[in-house]
Amino acid sequence: MKTIASLSDQEKLLEAFRAHLLRTQGLAPRTCAARVFYVRGFLERRRRSKRQGLILQELAPEDLLNYVLERSAQDSPCRLQVLASALRSFARFLQLSRSSPRALAAALPRIASRGRSSLPDYLAPERLEVLLGSIDTSTVCGQRNYAIILCLARLGLRAAEVAALTLEQIQWRASVISLGAGKGRRERQLPLPQDVGRAIADYLRQRKSPGNARRVFCAVDTGKGLCSAAISQVVRRALQRAGIQTPRPGAHLLRRTLASHLVQRGVSLKAVADLLGHRCLDTTRLYANVDHAMLREVSRPWPKEFTR
């Protein structure tokens, strides 16, 4: 399609873009939907400014860059990062499908934000133990929260994976948890550590029969399964009660913590990526913090002949 003259033309293009992201790029459906959402906003903005329709071959690099600059007046840096990533994907799609002869993706530089300009935050081992020790496991709610935090801290699960965990995914005799295709569209099996298995079993024995009996983690009062936002809320409240302050509290903090601890112990990035379900090692490097103690050991003073 060369020209977008109507909403139907636009939706046909977006559907082709969605199929490209899903089948060719192998992205998760939620990621595909997010990128299509941002590209739709760009197309609608450009189409409204063109009386005779938007001609894709006439798209120039400055069109993409100016749209991002226009959105910067109201969007946060993190949102702009997602927008720029979506537009870069769309530009590459246009070039591959020969809808545009230009390499438009290079027009959008990477956008810095405080979240990516510094090393990722994580909990030191002693602070993680303080967090686990602060949870009151004398109640069903406390047992559930303790099991949730162990799943995040020992297995590096995403909040959505913990929320969607079912009894069928836990193989008690083999001590294995089977996870379906998640954000990275990779199915994987993880060993079930003894303390995690014991915490889950203790909680399951004490909870009342929930409305959704196959879900592992449910609300204590209603029995409904927890969502990913509720999982992160459990972590935030536990951090607050433990007196632990961190720039980005939530479930992902414990995932970053596990990745950082493993890398600092000498575990390869490939092994950490397999555990976390990453498709690309560059993603794993963002979670793995620098071992400052190791850097101090290998650092050497500046040669004397070059000192002044």
Residue ranges of the chain that CATH labels 1.10.150: 3-117
**How far is residue 138 from each of residues 135, 144, 233, measured CA to CA in Å?**
9, 11, 20
**pLDDT (tens digit per residue) in 239-258:** 999 999 988 888 989 988 88
Is the pTM for the entire model greater than 0.85?
Answer: no
CB of 131 closer than 8 Å to CB of 152? no
Query: How far, in Å, CA of 54 to CA of 148, rounded?
Result: 50
Mean pLDDT comparison of 23-37, 83-97, 127-141, highest-scoring range: 127-141
CATH 1.10.150 fits 3-117, yes or no: yes
Query: How far, in Å, CA of 152 to CA of 89, rounded?
Result: 31
Q: What topology does CATH give the domain 125-291?
A: hpI Integrase; Chain A (1.10.443)
Alpha-helical runs (H) found in 100-182: 114-117, 125-133, 140-155, 159-163
What is the pLDDT at residue 150? 95
**pLDDT (tens digit per residue) in 87-118:** 999 888 888 887 776 777 777 777 765 544 44
Instruction: Specify the range with the lowest mean pLDDT, choosing from 70-79, 86-95, 96-105, 201-210.
Output: 96-105
Residue ranges of the chain that CATH labels 1.10.443.10: 125-291
What is the pLDDT at residue 2? 62
